[in-house]
């Protein structure tokens, strides 16, 4: 009897060790295999494509189709918001399937169309641009229903082309006035009231060459400058997000027309509208990791990065439990 008890204890101890090793292995595998997806909007063919953010390989180049000049992308949870420059609408889509939740989620925008988006909680900000007009605005909308909270949240903007939000500060990139080089700005506004942080001068950065894309990473504000659609004149500059002080105006250079930005870890993705590419760069140094990370695009614009959900700790424990039961059952069967 004593021998049987010892044998059972050893078997159970061995099974427990295997379980713990299995859980640890599953945890490591889930963490290391966690995938990243990069969404890219293409104004030229009215699509949003889905790509592997590690390799650049296409997962589904036609993830969303039938769009009309998509200029930007914003991802919130499993919702992907897409502004349509050609149809003056903002659509809302399922970020897993690409299915339309509401292709006309927001309507009635300027004839020039929505140019950029930013989201904070349940508030969606829309830059509404109409070339050379005093009616340029940033509107505020309910991200669940699409209802206008304040369509004239910020008014009197010269050329709103890019948005970024950090806490209660909303940054607005204004493209160069009347296409004049080095007249672009980035303004700073209260994200609750729409009032300029500095009422005397809302612009914390000036002298830009058609700024379009904005991206915040910690206390760094990256600014993509299209260069008035002049091949080779596109850049990405690096600025202090608190003071607007220049860190490096030529953080990335040699682009044809830098328009949008996205970040994943220390990888910075830049869409090049005229170059029909998305490049990958070191977010600390600006060095090119792969300037042709994704090629063959048609006027790429908006970028958004999403993580593929990894298994939860509880699911891995459940898997381990199944393994343990299997081992115990096998041992019992062999004893019988």
Whether 334 has a pLDDT exceeding 80, the answer reads no
Q: What percent of the chain has pLDDT over 70?
A: 80
Total residue length of the chain: 336
Q: What is the mean pLDDT of the chain?
A: 86
Domain ranges for the chain: 36-307
Alpha helices in the chain (DSSP H): 2-32, 313-335
- Give residue 135's pLDDT: 80
- In this prediction, residue 177 has a pLDDT band, given cuts at 50, 70 and 90, of confident
| Residue 100 near residue 82 (C-beta atoms within 8 A) | no
Q: Higher-confidence residue: 94 or 130?
A: 94
H-helix or E-strand containing 169?
strand 169-174
Q: Report which DSSP code applies to 113.
A: -
Q: Which CATH architecture has domain 36-307?
A: 7 Propeller (2.130)
| Residue 80 near residue 73 (C-beta atoms within 8 A) | yes
Q: What percent of the chain has pLDDT over 90?
A: 71
| Residue 189 near residue 202 (C-beta atoms within 8 A) | yes
**301-323 mean pLDDT:** 62
Whether 158 has a pLDDT exceeding 50, the answer reads yes
**237-241 mean pLDDT:** 98
Contact residues for 66 (Cβ-Cβ < 8 A; gap 6+): 46, 103
Whether 69 has a pLDDT exceeding 90, the answer reads yes
In the chain, the N- to C-terminal Cα span, in Å, equals 16
């Amino acid at each position: 009897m004593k021998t049987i008890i010892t044998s059972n204890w050893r078997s159970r101890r061995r099974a427990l060790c295997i379980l713990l090793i299995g859980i640890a292995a599953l945890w490591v595998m889930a963490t290391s295999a966690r995938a990243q997806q990069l969404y890219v909007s293409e104004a030229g063919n009215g699509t949003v494509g889905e790509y592997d953010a590690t390799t650049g390989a296409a997962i589904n180049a036609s993830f969303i189709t039938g769009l009309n000049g998509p200029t930007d992308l914003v991802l919130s949870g499993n919702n992907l918001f897409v502004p349509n420059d050609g149809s003056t609408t903002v659509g809302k889509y399922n970020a897993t399937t690409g299915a339309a939740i509401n292709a006309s989620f927001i309507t009635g925008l300027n004839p020039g169309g929505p140019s950029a988006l930013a989201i904070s909680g349940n508030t969606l900000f829309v830059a509404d641009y109409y070339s050379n007009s005093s009616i340029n605005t940033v509107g505020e909308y309910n991200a669940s229903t699409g209802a206008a909270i304040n369509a004239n949240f910020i008014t009197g903007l010269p050329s709103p082309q890019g948005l970024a939000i950090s806490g209660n500060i909303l940054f607005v990139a204004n493209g160069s006035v009347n296409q004049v080089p080095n007249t672009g700005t980035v303004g700073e506004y209260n994200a609750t009231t729409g009032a300029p942080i500095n009422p005397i001068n809302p612009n914390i950065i000036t002298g830009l060459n058609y700024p379009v894309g904005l991206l915040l990473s910690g206390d760094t504000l990256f600014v993509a400058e299209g260069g008035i659609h002049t091949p080779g004149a596109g850049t990405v500059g690096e600025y202090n997000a608190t003071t607007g002080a220049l860190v490096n105006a030529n953080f990335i250079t040699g682009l044809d027309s830098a328009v949008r930005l996205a970040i994943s870890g220390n990888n910075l993705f830049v869409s090049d509208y005229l170059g029909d590419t998305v490049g990958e760069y070191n977010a600390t140094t600006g060095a090119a990791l792969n300037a042709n990370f994704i090629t063959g695009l048609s006027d790429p614009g908006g970028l958004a990065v999403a993580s593929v959900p990894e298994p939860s700790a509880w699911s891995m424990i459940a898997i381990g439990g199944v393994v343990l039961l299997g081992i115990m059952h096998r041992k019992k069967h062999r004893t019988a």
